[in-house]
Structure 1
């Protein structure tokens, strides 16, 4: 069969992604990417440490970043993104800038991080007061709030799960419950932290219910990486990406619509609740948010 008329595959723009070794949401990242862009992912080396400030520091060491970026550059990406929120805010704004500089030097291509992308996205939508949702322990969530404060962003409310592992298993309904708890005090937007926390399908639902833009770690990472090479991320009914959504319910002010939170389609948030786990940094301090699922049994 003569297939010469096909002309070969179309040229692809490449985005290199450095992710922590336990990153499990490659599929979610791809959902924001148009067809003419390829994601090239690599992971940092495994270390036997649970999610904590110590792990955030280990997976963001410049030597680790240098090796990962050099491996990615074998396929000539146009930009490099470091896809880890805690790993890029643990050193504050100075640490985040130093990470970008180290990656740029290693690959000689533009580089960015999830935390830097979050600040850029909040500026893009004009948000200076934000509610924050994280799966982290208290100490890691505190570090995120300090980072946002350095950037002039006030945290008006927050909720966190206290997890130290298996974050990618958290169901949407737990993210929704945390969002409802965190959105207090007249926030301009909601930021859902951690690239290992699933968020793609829940963003439009929360924007419609909370009447404000909702940003997530993976969303802002892809948005910023694609913007750096002149490409628009895809994501219908998400205020950061969709002008129609930004001028709709998400543009309305206030922490929630009159009469309290509206109904949530059960099908969108199905799945068992994730069990709270101990804070390996803060000792015995309990998580302020405990999923209400008396029938759930934690793994042995």
Structure 2
């Protein structure tokens, strides 16, 4: 068996779905988690800006560096897209410098997934309010991705409590025939068990934040992400 690889994962203070990221990890991959400092804010533009501060992320990475990870991940969509492409690149570079290993953010991973698929027209489903969802759309547009349709839940708290049935309805409503794929934002929105079902139903890729994050991280450490057809076995 290959030696175990270590992926250091920084998540927002309110992240609850660590277990979902673990479900993407092969047996020879270990995930090491750390959180950004607590902030008493709803999930808004202001909160996203607060948890996107370079110094905050660098400290979280340094705290993880004692374990000598092979790669670092900032598993937060809003915190990595809120300042656009330049801000996303700045965060990834800061993490790599602080930790001495390759690094990626969730927003960067989403763009990587779309590029790998050759997709430039997407539908977007988010749990966010209008302002934060619009900022995500701007981030995608800046990267040359056209958003043809959207759907949002308008939530500011407890996104992890959204049931699968609500997320299924959200993605179906957000989709459009003109979209080549559906992007589902927020690492705190559970999607693992329904991606296969949605892809089979919609006939196109469904790229969730957690899926993109883990696929990119696994590629960085030379591990193979689960194939799309494997997820059909987890459909519910």
* Same structural fold, with TM-score higher than 0.5 when normalized by the shorter chain: yes
Residue in 1 that maps onto 2:53: 61
Distance 2:227 2:169 in 1: 22
Which residue in 1 is equivalent to 2:155? Answer: 163
Alignment of 1:1-300 (within 5 A): 11-234=3-226, 237=229, 268=236
SS at match of 1:55: helix
Shift, 1:180, TM fit: 1.3
Higher helix share: 2
Distance 1:176 1:48 in 2: 29
The CA distance in 2 between the partners of 1:218 and 1:184, in whole Å, is: 22
CA-based RMSD: 1.6
Deviation at 1:185, TM superposition (A): 4.4
The alpha carbon displacement at 1:234 in A equals 2.4
- What secondary structure is seen at the aligned counterpart in 1 of 2:98? helix
Unaligned runs of 5+ in 2: none
> Any conservation in 2 of the 1:156–1:185 contact (CA below 8 Å)?
no
Structure 1 residue 11 displacement after superposition = 3.5
Once residues 210 and 145 of structure 1 are traced to their aligned partners in structure 2, the CA distance between those partners, rounded to angstroms, is 21
User: Cα distance, 1:235 vs. partner?
Assistant: 5.0
Contact 1:157 1:185 in 2 (8 A): no
Highest CA radius of gyration, 1 or 2? 1
- TM-fit CA distance, 1:97: 0.5
Preserved contact between residue 84 and residue 194 of structure 1 (Cα < 8 Å): yes
Structure having greater relative contact order (Cα 8 Å, sep ≥ 6): 2
Deviation of residue 227 (structure 1)?
0.3
TM-score by length of 1: 0.76
Q: Distance in 2 between matches of 1:234 and 1:37?
A: 13
Secondary structure at the counterpart of residue 81 of structure 1: strand
1:173 CA displacement: 0.8
User: 2: distance between equivalents of 1:36 and 1:15?
Assistant: 11
